[in-house]
Amino acid sequence: MENAQFFKSIVDQDSAPVVICDLENTIIYMNPAAKERYKKHGDLTGKSLADCHNDSSNVKMREIIEWFKADKSHNRVYTFRNEKENKDVYMIALRDDSGKLIGYYEKHEYRTNESAEKYDLY
């Protein structure tokens, strides 16, 4: 089994939306949680993330991409707080094995405490 299948499964099993984009802001992958969250917009794969944001956000995305490119240690930027959903949103750099920037993804981190019991299998 290829490593790519494991990595895809990790992203697909995440309950938070994951939207992966190339450096031209083209959406190249959405995990099932992202597809569910944005289903009212239809299938966004292959479309520009820039079309989903206002001009101010697009300027910020371009600035962040340039910041990611400037140094291999520039990999995570806090972009938004959603109080209603109790989550923070980040842009995360994606790099190839040499450290070259190849894209980015939007990461949602929910802050609500887990309500399930530990190790509850039933």
Residue 5: the pLDDT is: 93
pLDDT single digits (tens) 35-88? 999 999 998 999 999 998 899 999 999 999 999 999 999 999 999 999 999 999
Q: SS3 of 66, please? A: helix
* Confidence band, pLDDT 50/70/90 cuts, at residue 1: low
Residue 37: the pLDDT is: 93
Per-residue buried b or exposed e for 74-107, using 16+ beta carbons within 10 Å of the residue's own CB:
ebebeeeeeeeeebebbbebbeeeeeebebbbbb
Residue type, 54: N
pTM recorded for the entire structure = 0.88
Determine how many CB atoms are found less than 10 A away from the CB of residue 51: 11
Report the distance separating Cα 24 and Cα 46, nearest Å: 11
CATH fold of 3-110 reads Beta-Lactamase (3.30.450)
Residue 67: the pLDDT is: 97
Domain extent listing, the chain: 3-110
Task: Judge contact between 94 and 106, C-beta under 8 A.
Answer: no
